[in-house]
Amino acid sequence: MLRSGIKSKQVGQCVIALAAIALAFSSQIAPVDAELSCEQAPPPFDDPSRVEQWRGRGWQTDFCHTTIPYDVLFSGEMLQGCPFKDCIPAIHDPEYDTIEGASNWLQPQSPVIAVALNGEAKAFPLGILISHEIVNDTLAGQPVTVTYCPLCNSGIVFSGQVGEVVLTFGVSGFLRNSDLIMYDQQTDSWWQQLTGEGFVGTYAGTILDVLPSQLVGFGAFAEQYPDGWVLRRPGGRRYNTNPYARFNYDSNDSPFLFNKVPDPRLRATERVLAGVIAGQPVAIPFHNLAEERVIQPTIAGVDRELVAFWQPGNASAMDQSNIDLSRDVGMAVLFDRTYEGRSLSFTWHEDGHFVDEETGSHWNIFGTAVAGELAGAQLRQRIAAPHFWFAWAAFQPETWVYGQDS
């Protein structure tokens, strides 16, 4: 059964791995202070012909407004990953399969971004997102934008609404710190995927609302949401393949299209469960999570009782050419460990669940109590997601790292 129609637009042969078509950003935009007008702006904005060059490339961006210092783009922090706007085509009219239908082509370990809102749940396979990076959709009647940046391994779901305005997003072709730069089709403003910040254009300084989501194996999603919907593969393309496999990107200590020295506290492409908690950036390495299964961090200056769950069953999208044959990197989610004002302490149980010591209830990776006194209860999820360390640290250099910082 289909939930909506599909309109899949092919854009020549351009939709290939950014790594295979990397180009230097030869015509870098020079951002200016948001308070300046174009008449007051430094080059190239004081040169109408330069602005017209960008207009000729299809950009209607208000280049007079930015949050990025003038010299940042000239430092090489921003690069062009593919040649033109929409060179990687976002999905704007997605179709969906039932769990049963999706089981014909997905495996239990196939990685998906799961998001649920007001009783409706959808899964977005990375085997599709790696070729499109953005899906514009609605969930429970609300506009949502699902994003995945392969080079940063960052899957984030945003509200598609800013104030009273619904925005739809596309792929700009630009990267900053290897991270996808999105643009909105309404104003051509540029947005940073990893932070959700508009940084050039009409919406410079605006932060998109992030919605809770989980990067999990399809099998875990199907068990949690048996009536959920799964993004259907658009026609005309081979999916569930990793075009970056030949670069050994999943274990590469020299990230592609990244012109900074990676933060040395962790290996560049170490996966971290990372978010900003009470104003403090936090990262929990996956190697710690895989070893301990349950981590209840105490973070200096953060008055929050947190718990991170990890369990196996999720394949890397950036390892082997066939994503389903890739190594199991597991899935991790961060929660408040209080329920109805009661603090809970968790341990890993051999049956594959997490057990709280206070009631003996069993909980799954989604923070749902599936058995015991608290069966049916739901922990509050914190906004945190798996990212490659180098990318997260580039945008959040003051990050507290579990196992290294007291």
When pLDDT is cut at 50, 70 and 90, the band that residue 246 belongs to is: confident
Q: pLDDT at residue 49 above 80?
A: no
As a whole number of angstroms, the distance between CA 395 and CA 389 comes to: 10
Question: Do 302 and 275 meet the contact criterion of CB atoms below 8 Å apart?
Answer: no
pTM for the predicted model, two decimal places: 0.89
Q: Could you read off the pLDDT of 55-110 as tens digits, one per residue? A: 777 889 887 788 876 566 556 678 888 888 999 999 999 999 999 999 999 999 99
Candidates 76, 82, 98; CA nearest to 23 is 82
**Mean pLDDT, rounded, of the chain:** 87
Q: Could you read off the pLDDT of 105-136 as tens digits, one per residue? A: 999 999 999 999 999 999 999 999 999 999 99
Q: CB-side exposure of 84: number of CA atoms within 13 Å?
A: 10
How many whole angstroms from its chain centre is CA 58? 26
Answer with the residue of higher pLDDT: 286 or 84: 286
Which pLDDT score, from 0 to 100, does residue 50 have?
62
For tokens 């430094």, the residue is 42
Q: DSSP characters for 67-86?
A: SS-TTTGGGTTEEESSSSTT
Which pLDDT score, from 0 to 100, does residue 87 have?
93
Q: Using a pLDDT cut of 90, give the percent of the chain over it.
A: 71
> At 247, is the secondary structure helix, strand, or coil?
helix
Query: What average pLDDT does range 373-377 have in this prediction?
Result: 98
Question: Do 393 and 265 meet the contact criterion of CB atoms below 8 Å apart?
Answer: yes
Report H helices in 166-274.
218-224
Which pLDDT score, from 0 to 100, does residue 70 have?
56
Q: pLDDT at residue 349 above 70?
A: yes
Which pLDDT score, from 0 to 100, does residue 19 have?
35
Compute the residue count for the chain: 406
Q: pLDDT at residue 5 above 80?
A: no
Q: pLDDT at residue 7 above 60?
A: no
Q: pLDDT at residue 30 above 50?
A: no
Which pLDDT score, from 0 to 100, does residue 35 have?
43
Q: Which pairs from 235-238 meet CB under 8 Å and 24+ separation?
A: 235/6, 235/8, 236/8, 236/10, 237/10, 237/15, 237/131
Residues 6+ positions from 321 with CB-CB distance below 8 Å? 241, 242, 245
Which pLDDT score, from 0 to 100, does residue 249 have?
85
Which of 182-186, 279-283, 301-305 is predicted least confidently? 301-305
Q: pLDDT at residue 15 above 70?
A: no
Which pLDDT score, from 0 to 100, does residue 170 have?
98
Sheet with 120-125: list strands edge to edge: 96-98, 229-231, 120-125, 111-117, 214-217
Which pLDDT score, from 0 to 100, does residue 255 have?
87
Which pLDDT score, from 0 to 100, does residue 326 have?
96
Which pLDDT score, from 0 to 100, does residue 45 have?
53
When pLDDT is cut at 50, 70 and 90, the band that residue 11 belongs to is: very low
When pLDDT is cut at 50, 70 and 90, the band that residue 180 belongs to is: very high
As a whole number of angstroms, the distance between CA 141 and CA 206 comes to: 23
3-state SS, 114-159, equals EEEECCEEEEEEHHHHHHHCEEEEEECCEEEEEEEEHHHCEEEEEE
Q: pLDDT at residue 27 above 60?
A: no
Backbone angles phi and psi of 129, in degrees to 5: -65, -25
When pLDDT is cut at 50, 70 and 90, the band that residue 363 belongs to is: very high
